[in-house]
């Protein structure tokens, strides 16, 4: 386990660069991510413990379509460039959506690539993540927010080859209540219904060829992380849920990477309360096609 108690960051996303012997850490870095958005910063380090930075990698120009809630940047090398999937709250309809930004370098500057959010304009959507299927076709997997549908959904939509726009309509993969581990809650603004959160999906292949998805929700109002599996290997499922959460100690919004030494590592933020959130890196292992935290 590697924990950094001095670095405030939510939704940590790590890009290892073996040729440099370094890790690049991205995430929601505004001091108050629930308010006005400043941009995204990145950090660079060699050991997951000591980080240089912050380095500003995205700052919006005055014409940018959002000035609030800059969340969950994920950065991918794709076709010789770097692409950032990030969530923003639109100025025009005040709904969340995930957009694509682009840069020639990992430390930016990233500039808008898609024409606003790629997610549906009339949906409140967040936490888009990139998945490229066996045919080389890119998909965005994202959350349809509980505040709009009560029972939060995880959805997928095909993207064009340049990652600029969606192709076709989104497909609902599952709703949060279909998994056995999350619990419902009542919110002050939505107290006449049972609400279930979906948050932070991330996909990876198992060694057996199945497709795994990490995603976050709540157990008795405490942030938690679970796993779903598509045994067929298709992003369209069907998706099967683990009975128990993988991590339930007020941490989540996960991704998985390999350390420079080859160890499989889970990245989450914990606790789930601003301004106390910190990155936490946990060794994990694969057992029978499923992920487990490695306590050895």
Domains observed in the chain: 2-293 (2.115.10.20)
Residue 212 has pLDDT above 90, yes or no: yes
Q: Determine the pLDDT at residue 5.
A: 80
pLDDT, greater one: 213 or 191: 213
pLDDT score recorded for residue 190: 67
**Which tokens sit at 144?**
């349809």
pLDDT of residue 191: 65
**Within 13 Å and on the Cβ side, how many CA atoms surround 123?**
25
The pLDDT of 197-217, averaged and rounded, is: 95
With DSSP H G I counted as helix, E B as strand and the rest as coil, what are the percentages for the chain, rounded to 5?
0, 55, 45
pLDDT tens digits along 7-23 = 999 999 999 999 999 99
Rg (C-alpha) for the chain, rounded Å, is 18
Query: Mean pLDDT in the chain?
Result: 95
Chain position carrying tokens 């581990």? 181
pTM given for the model: 0.96
| Count of C-beta atoms within a 10 Å radius of residue 169 | 9
Q: Which of the four pLDDT bands, split at 50, 70 and 90, describes residue 189? A: low
Model confidence at 3: pLDDT above 80: no
Residue 2 has pLDDT above 80, yes or no: no
Q: Please say if the pLDDT value at position 246 is more than 90.
A: yes
Per DSSP, helices labelled H in 121-193 are 146-149
């Amino acid at each position: 386990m590697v924990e950094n108690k001095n670095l405030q960051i939510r939704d940590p996303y790590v890009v290892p660069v073996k040729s440099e012997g370094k890790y690049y850490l991205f995430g929601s870095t505004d001091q108050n991510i629930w308010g006005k958005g400043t941009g995204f910063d990145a950090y660079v380090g060699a050991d997951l413990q000591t980080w240089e930075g912050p380095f500003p990698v995205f700052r919006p120009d005055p014409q940018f379509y959002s000035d609030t809630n800059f969340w969950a940047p994920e950065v991918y090398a794709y076709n010789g460039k770097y692409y950032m999937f990030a969530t923003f709250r639109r100025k025009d309809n005040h709904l969340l959506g995930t957009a694509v930004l682009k840069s020639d370098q990992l430390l930016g500057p990233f500039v808008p690539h898609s024409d606003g959010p790629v997610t549906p304009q009339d949906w409140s959507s967040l936490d888009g993540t990139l998945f490229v299927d066996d045919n080389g076709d890119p998909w965005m997997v994202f959350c349809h927010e509980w505040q709009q549908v009560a029972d939060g959904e995880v959805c997928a939509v095909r993207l064009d080859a340049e990652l600029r726009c969606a192709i076709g309509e989104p497909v609902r993969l599952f709703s949060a209540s279909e998994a056995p581990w999350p619990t419902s809650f009542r919110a002050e603004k939505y107290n006449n219904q049972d609400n279930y959160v979906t948050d932070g999906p991330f996909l990876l292949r198992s060694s057996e060829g199945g497709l795994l998805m990490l995603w976050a929700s709540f157990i008795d109002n405490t942030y938690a992380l679970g796993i779903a599996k598509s045994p067929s290997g298709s992003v369209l499922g069907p998706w099967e849920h683990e009975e128990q959460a993988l991590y339930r100690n007020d941490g989540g919004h996960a991704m998985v990477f390999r350390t420079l030494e080859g160890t499989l590592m889970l990245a989450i933020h914990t606790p789930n309360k601003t301004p106390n959130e910190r990155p936490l890196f946990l060794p994990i292992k694969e057992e029978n096609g499923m992920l487990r935290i490695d306590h050895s």
